Amino acid sequence: MTAFHDSISAPRQASAKAARSHRNTLSTRDRMMGVLVPLVLLAIWELAAQLGWIDVRFFPAPSNVAKAMFTSLRSGELLTNTEATLQRLVLGFVLGGLPGLAVGILMGVYRPLRLIFDPLIAATYPIPKSAILPLILLIFGLGESSKVVMVAIGAFYPIAINTTSGVREISPIYFDVGRNFNASRWDIFRTVALPGALPFIMTGAKLGAGLGLILISIAEMMGAKTGLGYMIWSAWETFDVEQMYVGLFVVSLIGYLLTVLFNELERRVVPWKGASK
């Protein structure tokens, strides 16, 4: 009997391993391309700026941007601003994401709640979040809270919407299993709805973090005294184009690192993914 088990499962494992290593070699090459292409583009840019092919008032040479970045780092300005932005981003993401997760799961599980909240979300979701910034400033003032609220709003929608779809996508048989095996209501949330919706929740979290970063940059341009958005805006006011590029570079770096972080997190919390039929 044991021999029989082996003969069924061994080829599956072997082929899965082969597929994985195949993917790995591919992704190593992809990663090389991912590094190489931007480097080549930067080199072309540098050359074009040095030779005067492009207007360095708008497109300063990358080497000058790097110099500005170094100065900004030494003065501590860059770190202070980056820290302020990251702090708002993390706080806003948590404050918007957790309610988004809770509302999403409840809407996915309970039809009446879905009927109540779905039209509300459908009606408010398409409003450009940047357009409600003045209103948020009016309500929450010019301090920290208005910035955090902007990020929270950005994180809430994609997470709530994706979580709801995630729960709705779970095959009803798993809820039957929960009921049949004496799972309490809380157990069903914990062991069926939440883990079953995790792949969708991760997608929502990635979108929410990205939207949060966009919104915090905009929010910091209005009535803030710290943050990368503020740094970019004040660089414009003083026509310090290099500094503006430094701000843009750090914002995009944060965006990139967030993607890396969430992909890694996804790999850890959704180890069964890629298997769903």
Contacts with other proteins, residue ranges (CB under 8 A): 1-2, 4-5, 8-9, 12-13, 16, 173-174, 176-184, 187, 191-192, 195-196, 198, 270-272, 274-276
CB of 23 to other proteins, least distance (A): 15
CB of 174 to other proteins, least distance (A): 6
User: Between residues 16 and 257, which has the closer beta carbon with respect to other proteins?
Assistant: 16
CB of 209 to other proteins, least distance (A): 23
CB of 242 to other proteins, least distance (A): 49
User: Between residues 78 and 197, which has the closer beta carbon with respect to other proteins?
Assistant: 197
User: Between residues 8 and 35, which has the closer beta carbon with respect to other proteins?
Assistant: 8
CB of 94 to other proteins, least distance (A): 24
DSSP the chain: -HHHHHHHHHHHHHHHHHHHHHHHHHHHHHHHHHHHHHHHHHHHHHHHHHTTSS-TTTS--HHHHHHHHHHHHHHTHHHHHHHHHHHHHHHHHHHHHHHHHHHHHHHHH-HHHHHHHHHHHHHHTTS-GGGGHHHHHHHH-SSHHHHHHHHHHHHHHHHHHHHHHHHHHS-HHHHHHHHHTT--HHHHIIIIIHHHHHHHHHHHHHHHHHHHHHHHHHHHHTT-SSSHHHHHHHHHHTT-HHHHHHHHHHHHHHHHHHHHHHHHHHHHH-TTTT---
User: Between residues 138 and 265, which has the closer beta carbon with respect to other proteins?
Assistant: 265
User: Between residues 17 and 22, which has the closer beta carbon with respect to other proteins?
Assistant: 17
